[in-house]
Structure formats: structure tokens, C-alpha cells
Amino acid sequence: MEPGMSIEAQNVNVDFHGGKSRMTVNIQVTEAGRLAESLDVIALYRTMVTARVMNDLLKTRKTQGKFPFYIGCAGHESMAAVVAALNENDWLALYYRDLAAWLQRTGDKYGPLREAYSRVTGPMCSGRNMPSHYSSRRHRILPGFSEVAGLTPFAGGIGFSLKWHQEPELILSTTGDGGAATNDFHVLFRQSAVHRLPVLMIIEDNGWAITAPSQIQWAGSLVEWARGGGVYAEEVDGTNVIATYEATRRLAGHIRSGQGPAFMHLRLGLLDPHSSSTDIRSYRKKEEIELTKATKDPVKNFGRWLVEQGQLQEDDIERIRKEVRAELEQIEREVLQEPEPTPDRVMQHVLYVPEWRENIPRGKKRMVTMLSAINEALVELAQRDPDFFVYGEDVGSPKGGVFGATASLVTQFPGRAISSPLNEQLIIGIVAGAGMKDGRARCAEIQFVDYHQSAAQTIRLAARISYQSFGDWKVPLIIRTKSGSGGGGPISSGGAGGGAFGHSNAGEQWFTCIPGMITICPATPFDAKGLLLEAARSQSPVAFLERGRLYRSEPPKDKDGRLIAAMAEYWNVPDGYYTLPIGKARRLRIGEGPSSIAIIAWGTMVLEACTAAANVVGREGGAIEIVDLRTLAPFDEEAVAAAVKEANRVIVVTEEADLTSFGRHVHSWIVEHCFYDLDGTPAFISAVKAPAAPYNEPEESAFYPTAQTIEEKIEELLAE
Ligand SMILES: Cc1ncc(C[n+]2csc(CCOP(=O)(O)OP(=O)(O)O)c2C)c(N)n1
């Protein structure tokens, strides 16, 4: 031990599996500043040796063909010291080189072997993911992704929630030097810096990102860059375990004193190839590899230091290694007896649609716009959950976002509509992470659905988490976004609204193809309020598509200007709380008697279809049924099948461009499942196959389907 150092620590015995694999780990240190005598440096060393020996064992087993893949930790074992310097309740967002951090936090030596051998007993994902993707809700370890740094925006959300609740913990988020170049990492940096979050960011710089040296990942100094961005930062020698421990204590102390986030550039060496799929000699020189092994091995360095300090004898080094190897081989034998996943699990933990509890809206009904209904729903949510918030661009301004959807929240619940930096991925990360931690949905507002694209990866990962972690983690999250034609004008005013490029994409094609995601697109104010309130009960992420054109729209009318009664009643919205079921369509009948055509639509196209149907029925009598899907994923297959069975003719209408789209999916589903109920080819109406609706009126009108297009198609089918 260095002169003048003392260790103040609380040793916690973590005991797994009836004491067979007892490992004493130091997981709680109570005093910052100086190392105290009681830091169990031997236990820390043993943890690091365990990581290395397990790494070598698994590497060999992969080479022997026992499982398909392994990515190791050799050179990164000082991460055990980082975790030892934190508190046991601090949160961890680790990456695939952090086996030592896993062992230090959990003491669980079975876990990594179980995952390597894909056993159902695996604590990270029950054998579902590749090995080395650390995850445990119980131990506050967020689910690691293969997407380099993909977890970092979620870590910012955890930090946001910690700060919101004024909790004393922090979150550690790690990634490699390649990870430092990702958008995701920059998002975490900005989240933490702007909101002064309790986040410790560590770049574990081993000099390589597969074959790319770290010099190509950034220019200048990482530490200076971080300081310039308003974050306390240090460069640390990660091959020196005590220096790593002390630096972590310093940085954690800085965060806990309320001074905001901290950043560590941790210099390490990579002792193995990138992964079991990489040949180290094909891109690294022999001398460089040898030098790295001789000088940058934290396990060797720490062992040598312990011998110098008289804490270990020379012989102990090999003795400990052998003991650990024998223990791990015994664990391996036990793990191999454990059950493997069975094919019947393959659809488990994909999606959690909330079970709807029947409730009768009791509030007084008033005729309101969809925008008012959304305002009301957000206020209801804020009233019922003191920690509910909406986060997005401009949402905290008195205007309540560019469309005014949060205006009531801003006045009635100050602080619950929070304006974000202009970064959609950052928005999703904050809201998804906070929802994961709190177990309840918080709401992101994406100003226009077109701009969700920088967040696409984070959204896809949010929807994957429950599947990947075999249900251990869930991501309740609402993403409200303005979508589709128009800039908010009433449908009856003609013209689609001039949304043009960047402001008018329908959007459902981007969300309905994500497994694990719910997509909702209401057509009426009544549905918008009831479905938004129900979306907040979901444990899966929800994309809530608000059609700009419907924000202030009146109910649809026929060509003579008469309101269509079957629809108009849904502009009457009850006061207070009520919910509507997710996954249930609304079947609307225009006219009398059995329906001759079923029209499947959602959002704005429901109104267009109603107008078209009313015009035809007004002229020719009979009835036409409109199935308003309301929820697009999962859509109400039963309602669609029943409507087709009755009418024997069907039209699917979407305002998506005619490319791979949700509309095409529904159409194909009908062909496959309702073929024998059809009297003719199922019709399909969509926007044209162009990038987006042009700004000028003539071209814009030619882009979208309208009531007239639908009316013509109805006549065509009726004439067949
Ligand atoms: C977003 C993304 N791009 C590319 C890859 C493929 N890939 C896997 S690991 C890796 C290099 C990561 O390097 P670094 O962050 O320095 O971590 P290291 O493996 O060196 O510890 C790459 C490019 C990926 N998994 N994710």
C-alpha cells in the first residue's frame, strides 16, 4: 500500500449457491479521499483474477467449439476497482469488456458461464443473448447491447430519474474508445452536461476498436473536450488498480457533492484479440502485443504491487490462479447440467399490451378538438402520477410545444413539461431510461415524426429490451408525435396543409415493423384521450401518432355539408379519467342494413373514408362499414376478419407512400387470412410512391388519397 493511504470500506459477503462459490467482494465504500485499511485488496485481486481466469477458460471453450462466440475482458480487469469504489446501490451501464465489474458487483461466477453456454438459468437474459452482455435488474445493471454505446442514452435517463427523485445514487456508464465516437455517447454527454446529471462516464480506451486505433476516433484530447463541455474530467492509468480506485472515488465524490457529471478517460491495454472472431496478428504487430502484455496487464501489475507491499507472497499468485481455475471448472460442470432454452419460448416477452379494465367514462361530455383532448389526457396523467413528465423540444414553453399539446400541463403542473435540447435521440434516451427506472411510462414528444430518425436505434432497442433480457427489464415509454398530412388545419378546409418534406410523413411504417412496440393512431378526440391514458399503463413502448391534420379538425361531413353522425359523437369528450382498450378497432357503420364494403383505415383516412361512404350511401342506399383500427400494432385481426366476412369486399386505405408500408401489411394479411370470404381482389389505396408530399397545393393534393379517391374505388367495387 502506498504511504499514507488507508482504506475505509464496508465488506459485504455475497454468497451464491449455498456458499459453494463464496467470494468476498468489496461493494460498498463509505468514505472518500483516502484508502482505508479495510479495503480488502486481496478480495479485489481475487475478483480480478477470477475475471481473467474465466476469460481464459471461456476463450478456450469457444476455440473447442463448445459455443459460437466469446468476447473477453483481458486488460480491463481494473473495472473491478471502479465498481469497488462506488456504492452498492449505484447503477451500472456496462459494456462487453466489463466482466470484472459484473463479478465485483454481483459476486456471481455462475452467471457468465450460464450465458456462455446459453442456459435458461442465465441471470442476464436466460441464454437469449450473446455472452458478455451484462444485465441484472436486481443488481441495477442495465441490459448491455451489441450496438456499441447503444445503452448510453438510456443511462442518461436513469441519471435524469435519480436527479428528479433526489436520490443519492449515481450511474456509471462505460464504453470503449470506439464507443466514444458514437452519436449515442455524445447524447449521454449532452444529457448529463445540460441537466447536470449524476453520471460517471468512463471511456475504457484500450487503443483499439476492432482493427482501428483510437487515434481515428477523436481529435485532440478527450479530457479537454469534456472539460470544454462543462464536465469535470480526468485521465487515469487503468493499468494501475489503486490509481483507478482512487480516481473513481474522487469523481464519484464530485458527482455526489451535487456538482454534476464526471468523465474519466481510462487508459488500458487490450491483451487479447477483439473477439473470438478476430485474428489478433492480422492487424497488430507482434512487438506491440508483447509490450502491451508486459506493461499493461492490470492483474499482473496489481499482483506485483501486492507482493511488493507484503500483502501476498510470490507463490500466492499462482496458488490463487489455480484455486480459481479449479473452482470455475467445478462451476462449469454444474452449469452444463442445467437446462437449455426450448423452442416454445421464442415468442415470450415480446410485447406487453395492458389488460384493459372496463371503465365507463363518467365525466360531463363536451365537444372538443383532439388537441384539447390530448392536453386533458396529459393533465390527467400528471394528476395521477406525481413523477409523470413530458420531455421534448419546446414543450415547457408557455405555448406548450409547437402545437400546444402541453399548454395545459405547463400552466397547471409547472415543471412537468420540460424543454429538451434539439436532439431526438437524447429525448428518447431520457424518457426511456427514466421509465425503466421508475417502472412507469413517461412521455417523449417528437415534434414531427419525420425527425424521429436520429432516435431510431434507441427506439428499436427500447422495444427489444424485454425480449433480450427475457422479461427482466421493461421499458414503459410513450412517444407522442405529430404525423401525417398537414400542418394542423381542419380537414374540411380542403388542401392537405402544406406540411411538405420534413413535416408530413405518416410514420406508421417506421414503428409497426418493430417487434415489441405498440403503435396507436387515433382518428377522434374521444379516442385520442382514452387511448393516451391507456398507453400510460403499458409496459412496452408506445408510438402515439397524432395526425396534425386532426388536431383541430371538426367531425367529417358529407358532400352536402351534413355532419356524419356515426363519427361526430366521438368529438364529445368526457371530463376526467377514462381509458380505451389497446388493440381494439372501432367498427363504424354508415347507412342501414348489411354492409357491402369494408374499409380498413386509421387516422385521417377514417374521416376521408366516412365522407366517401356517406356520399355513396346517400346516393345509393345500403351500408358501408369502416373499421377504424385505432391501434395499428398489434391490430385487431378479429374485427378486420369479421368486417370482411360480412361485406365480402374490402378496401385498405393508408396515407403512407406506396412502398413497404403498414397498409401493405394489412392488405397482405387480409389476402392470406380472408381469401375465401372475398368476392373480388381486395383494393388498396395509398399516397403515391414519392419521397413526401410537395409544398405546393396541386402536387400535394395529388400525393394523398382523399374522400374522392375512396369514393371512386367504392363505385368501382360496387360495379364489379
Ligand atoms: C454501432 C455499432 N457499430 C459497429 C459495431 C461492430 N463492432 C463491434 S465492437 C466494435 C469496436 C468497438 O470498439 P471499442 O468501443 O473501442 O471497444 P473495444 O472492443 O475495443 O473494447 C465494432 C466496430 C457494433 N457492434 N455497433
Shared domain check, 615 and 496: no
Instruction: Answer whether residue 563 is part of any domain.
Output: no
Whose CA is closest to 74, among 328, 289, 287? Answer: 289
- Cβ-Cβ contacts under 8 Å for 218 (sequence gap 6 or more): 180, 181, 225
CATH number of the domain to which 673 belongs: 3.40.50.920
CATH number of the domain to which 515 belongs: 3.40.50.970
Question: In whole angstroms, what is the distance from residue 96 CA to residue 276 CA?
Answer: 13
Amino acid 38: pLDDT: 57
User: What is the chain's percent helix, strand, coil content, to nearest 5?
Assistant: 40, 15, 40
Question: Strand, coil or helix: what is 202?
Answer: strand
- Answer for the pair 486, 504: CB distance below 8 angstroms, yes or no: yes
Shared domain check, 377 and 337: no
Question: In whole angstroms, what is the distance from residue 600 CA to residue 683 CA?
Answer: 10
Shared domain check, 160 and 95: yes
Shared domain check, 512 and 443: yes
Place of cell 482512487: 246
Question: In whole angstroms, what is the distance from residue 685 CA to residue 677 CA?
Answer: 20
Peptide bond before residue 361 is cis, with ω within 30 degrees of 0? no
Shared domain check, 608 and 543: no
Retrieve residue 671's grid coordinates: 389476402
Domain range enclosing 652: 584-719
- Pocket-testing residue among 210, 270, 425, ligand 1, by greatest number of atoms within 8 A of Cβ: 210
Task: Give the residue numbers marked as catalytic.
Answer: 503
Shared domain check, 369 and 335: no
Retrieve residue 4's grid coordinates: 499514507
pTM: 0.94
Amino acid 701: pLDDT: 86
Shared domain check, 381 and 468: yes
437 CA from centroid of ligand 1 (Å): 26
Question: In whole angstroms, what is the distance from residue 97 CA to residue 99 CA?
Answer: 6
DSSP single-letter state for residue 258: I
Retrieve residue 68's grid coordinates: 459460437
Amino acid 697: pLDDT: 86
324 CA from centroid of ligand 1 (Å): 30
Shared domain check, 534 and 600: no
Which of the residues in the chain have pLDDT under 70? Answer: 1-38, 487-496
Residue identifier of the C-alpha nearest atom 17 of ligand 1: 176
Amino acid 277: pLDDT: 82
Shared domain check, 174 and 45: yes
Shared domain check, 24 and 57: yes
User: How many domains does one find in the chain?
Assistant: 3
Question: In whole angstroms, what is the distance from residue 632 CA to residue 628 CA?
Answer: 10
Q: What is the per-residue pLDDT across 173-201, written as a single tens digit (0 to 9) for each? A: 999 999 999 999 999 999 999 999 999 99
Amino acid 8: pLDDT: 31
147 lines ligand 1 (CB under 6 A): yes
Closest ligand 1 atom to the C-alpha of 206? 20
Instruction: Answer whether residue 578 is part of any domain.
Output: no
